[in-house]
Amino acid sequence: MPAASPISAARPRRGRCWRATASRASIRRATARPSSAPGGPAPGRRRGRSPARPDPSASRSSQPIPSKGFLMSLVKRAVLLVSGERYLVLSITLGQTALVSRLLTPEQVGLSMLGVALVQVVDGVRDFGTTNYIIHEPTTSQQSARTAFTVLLALSLVFAVGLFASAGLWADLYGQPLLASYLRVLSLSFLLVPFSGPLMALMRRDFQFAALMWVNVGTCLTYALVLVALAVLGFGAMSFAWAMVASAAAAVALSLAVRPEPGVYRPSLQGWRTALAIGGCSSLTTLLNRAYDLLPIFLLGRFGGPDLVGLYGRAQVVSQLPDKMILGSLGAVILPMFAADRRDGRALAPGYLASIGNITGVLWPVALLLALIAHPVVLVLLGSQWLASVPIVQVLALASMLTFPAMLTYPVLLASGGLRDTLTASLIGLPPSAAILFVSASGGPLAVALSQFVTVPLQAGIALWFIRRRVPFRLTDFAGALRISALVTVATALPPLAVLALSGRGFVLTIPEGVLAGFGGATAWLVAMLVLDHPVASHVRETIRPVVLGVRARTRAVWAGR
């Protein structure tokens, strides 16, 4: 994110539901400044006259606008909180993945992924953009949250019943009888999501990322514990389904615990037209993109079998680690940030270009490093029975380096008034991409992975064309935002390439060699970031400085005590 200028501001109000974050009202109070000079009349008073009365006709826009520096300090804090959450969630996920991959076979894992893929496509329509409606609305209150809950609950009931009734048809289509029971269990989770979604959206809008962190970490931990326990007990693929239901229940309980507003559960249809106007286009776009993302699972499951689905799915899990570590952390913050810029009348292009530079400065080196040490990573995370997925991991990791504009496309277009452009871009780019996937699916998982070197640049180019229409910027500025990131990526690759050359076995590294290559690459990345003064380096310094100062102060105290 763009570096924030220092600003003195009052500490955010803290309370039962506002811990570690600041509300919009507190931002306005903290950034309001008296217009008079020191020693002059107090704001709102004239000499010899009674205090000026507030103008009841004043509009919302007349209230003090938070300064860019203070808002960006909130964004930085939010990024740190979300990053911490993502790393906790990622650690839990990696632990349960390592255990379950050794307890279940590729066929069982593949069957579960096929069922989850079907549910995720339906889930994209069921949400109907209600959470984005809460974040996007300039005057969001409990009333709009009630409307969002009502719409979400109604749609969830419809799709839960539809999924339960059609489970047998899906099982017959894929020739997997167990898939029917799997989908019926997953339909239960649809009935729980409406009770947590609006509360979590309110937390995101109000930058309550500390509270949201505990909800997401608790939900992930519940899923992991239930999944591993059921896998040990021999539930097989059904372990995933019951774990998802348990995590949905945990999300409801934790959301109410950190933000106890049961009033949002009172049905209301006030403003439902606005919710549907935003949600209709958003949901159709989400449905198209989610169906496309899951198309390889459907194709491999239909023409190859659950074992190929398992190999490709586990390769996706490993190859998406950079995305989950980096883009996932920013994703929860980017939309509120651009929405705040739009409400306050600030230009979006500087923030967009700065975000592009920050994303690629971390995504590119990590993805390339993962491709180079994929063999020991798969061996540690999944076990030897999954080594056939190593080439797929390498290809998908390299292809993920081209996806860096994807995280910013939706929030930038939404904030700039181009919500319909997201749907148009999907309608242009997805059909030819889907055709390429259909052709490549006959070649197996590796061919499907290789097709992303064609489909990803195609979709990214279309998205950038629409973004430049709404947020004008020069291509030279865009290339300049990527220049330092490219140099950092090259520097990061040098140590692991040296280890590969010395091993003499190509990409087949032992676990100690993989650790050495990974540590060397991480060290080279950090040094290159600091030497080349990448924008992310300032965030790294700000993160490290309190730790260093704390250790130094404690060391001095210990020595003084002696």
Both 524 and 396 in a single domain? yes
Q: Answer for the pair 232, 174: CB distance below 8 angstroms, yes or no.
A: no
Other C-beta atoms lying within 10 Å of the C-beta of residue 475: 9
Q: Answer for the pair 367, 397: CB distance below 8 angstroms, yes or no.
A: yes
Number of domains observed in the structure of the chain: 2
Determine the pLDDT at residue 138.
53
Tens of pLDDT, residues 465-478: 988 888 888 888 88
Q: What is the mean pLDDT of residues 149-176?
A: 87
Pairwise CA distance, residues 147 & 134, whole Å: 9
Both 133 and 261 in a single domain? yes
Closest Cα partner for 186 from 169, 200, 167?
Answer: 167
Least confident interval from 12-16, 28-32, 153-157, 299-303: 12-16
**Residue 289 located in a structural domain:** no
Least confident interval from 2-11, 149-158, 351-360: 2-11
**Residue 59 located in a structural domain:** no
**Residue 523 located in a structural domain:** yes
Q: How confident is the model at residue 200 (pLDDT cuts 50, 70, 90)?
A: confident
Pairwise CA distance, residues 502 & 517, whole Å: 11
Determine the pLDDT at residue 139.
53
**Residue 181 located in a structural domain:** yes
pTM over 0.75: no
> Residue 204: is its pLDDT beyond 50?
yes
Return the higher-pLDDT residue of 181 and 324.
181
Query: What would the two tokens of residue 401 be?
Result: 């380096």
**Residue 54 located in a structural domain:** no
> Residue 281: is its pLDDT beyond 50?
yes
CA 179 to chain centre: 29
**Residue 154 located in a structural domain:** yes
Percent over 70 (pLDDT), the chain = 72
Domain enclosing residue 99, as ranges: 80-270
Determine the pLDDT at residue 63.
40
> Of the candidates 254, 270, 286, which is a domain's last residue?
270
Both 303 and 434 in a single domain? yes
Both 322 and 256 in a single domain? no
Both 342 and 445 in a single domain? yes
Both 220 and 338 in a single domain? no
Determine the pLDDT at residue 450.
94
Percent over 90 (pLDDT), the chain = 25
Tens of pLDDT, residues 363-416: 899 999 999 999 999 999 898 889 999 999 999 999 989 888 877 777 777 777
Both 244 and 306 in a single domain? no
Q: 191-201 in b/e burial notation, b at 16+ Cβ within 10 A?
A: bbbbbbbbbbb
**Residue 288 located in a structural domain:** no
Taking the alpha carbons at both ends of the chain, their separation in whole angstroms is 44
**Residue 500 located in a structural domain:** yes
Determine the pLDDT at residue 132.
59
Determine the pLDDT at residue 36.
36
Contacts of residue 357, Cβ cutoff 8 Å, sequence gap at least 6:
481, 482, 484, 485, 534, 535, 536
Both 256 and 351 in a single domain? no
Both 220 and 311 in a single domain? no
Determine the pLDDT at residue 474.
86
Tens of pLDDT, residues 54-110: 443 333 333 444 454 545 555 556 556 666 777 788 888 888 888 998 898 888 898
> Using CA atoms in the order 552, 554, 556, 560, what is the torsion angle rounded to 10 degrees?
180
> Residue 23: is its pLDDT beyond 70?
no
Both 397 and 546 in a single domain? yes
Mean pLDDT, the chain, as a whole number? 77
Both 334 and 421 in a single domain? yes
Determine the pLDDT at residue 224.
94
Return the higher-pLDDT residue of 21 and 552.
552
Q: How confident is the model at residue 34 (pLDDT cuts 50, 70, 90)?
A: very low
Determine the pLDDT at residue 227.
94
Q: How confident is the model at residue 515 (pLDDT cuts 50, 70, 90)?
A: very high
Both 200 and 344 in a single domain? no
> Of the candidates 270, 288, 320, which is a domain's last residue?
270
Q: Is 346 exposed, middle or buried (0-12, 13-18, 19+ CB in 10 A)?
A: middle
Return the higher-pLDDT residue of 15 and 457.
457
Determine the pLDDT at residue 333.
56
